[in-house]
Amino acid sequence: MSKPANADGKPQPAEEKNDPLAYLSASRLKSYLTCPLRFYFEKVLAIPKPANAAAHLGKAVHASLASYHTRLWRGEDASVDVVAGRFGFEFSKLEDVQPVRWEEANDRFDAMAAGERLVRAYIADETGRERIRPIGVEVKLEAEIPGVPIPLVGVADLVREGNRLTDFKTTGVTPNPGLEAWQHELQVTAYDLLIEENTGTAVSEAELVFLVKTKTPKIVRQTLPAPDATQRARFKALAEVYVRGNERREYHPCPGQHCAWCQFRNECRRWKGGDAS
């Protein structure tokens, strides 16, 4: 695959990270559409907040699964004990980058144990399945969308032969297939556009793999068809909304269920209308 974003591995300059018009990503787009004011506080002003415990656990699990598939790709030891044994290292390394807000004394220990169980459950679920060779793990890609003046960038969790996309999700509840297909449409469509531009071939299918944090972990797989013309057109239209909104500095609150876990409620309460700055 070609056209990697930040291929030199260096961190992005702070001004590029905080500039909403430096690039577009599925996560930036979804964040802006959910609540422009929260997007402004988090992505533009970059107000520091402790990491959410659930999000931290998800990142550590993602890192461990990336290690697993990279080892498979390279023909290295990808046994469950080796991969799960590194989970604690990935977990702690992420804490060094961004501290985590643990509510109770045992929460950190419980999260580490839950994460290792998820990693072990995933590898066990993979055992006996057809091993479709990875062609990319944590692939950084960039693409141009006609009519959108900023590049689209993204990191695909896993791409297998035949341009089969796999994306991993950690969750505390068993997923609803119809709802999940809708909620993750933007992300799947973004990856489809990225992969097609960088390989010349669209995604053949997408697989969402849910790692469910129940007492006995569950692995739920959902296969989605490649995005159709309507979904691609909708993505482009929403990308244009994102660009226009940020050009005009349209940052306003959108109250909803997401407020329950938003870390910027105090900042939001002080908003009086107009430009958030």
**In sequence order, what DSSP letters do the residues of 226-256 get, joined into one string?**
PP-HHHHHHHHHHHHHHHHHHHTT------S
Q: What is the DSSP letter of 45?
A: S
Q: What is the DSSP letter of 42?
A: I
User: Is 165 a domain residue?
Assistant: yes
Q: What is the pLDDT of residue 146?
A: 93
Residue numbers of the domain that contains 93: 17-247
User: Is 46 a domain residue?
Assistant: yes
User: Is 5 a domain residue?
Assistant: no
- Please give the model's pTM, rounded to 2 decimal places: 0.86
- Residue 1, CB-side half-sphere exposure with 13 Å CA sphere: 29
User: Is 7 a domain residue?
Assistant: no
Q: What is the pLDDT of residue 16?
A: 53
pLDDT in tens, the chain (277 residues): 434 344 334 444 445 568 999 999 999 999 999 999 999 999 999 999 988 899 999 999 999 999 999 998 888 998 999 999 889 999 999 999 888 989 888 999 999 999 999 999 999 998 767 666 788 999 899 999 999 999 999 999 999 888 999 999 999 999 999 999 999 999 999 999 999 999 999 899 999 999 999 989 999 999 999 999 999 999 999 999 999 999 999 999 999 999 998 999 999 999 998 777 6
User: Is 1 a domain residue?
Assistant: no
User: Is 224 a domain residue?
Assistant: yes
Q: How many domains does the chain have?
A: 1
Q: What is the pLDDT of residue 277?
A: 66
CA distance 187 to 119: 23
CATH number of the domain bearing residue 200: 3.90.320.10
C-beta separation of 164 from 136 below 8 A? no
Cβ neighbourhood burial of 19 (10 Å; 0-12, 13-18, 19+): middle
- Residue 157, CB-side half-sphere exposure with 13 Å CA sphere: 20
User: Is 223 a domain residue?
Assistant: yes
User: Is 87 a domain residue?
Assistant: yes
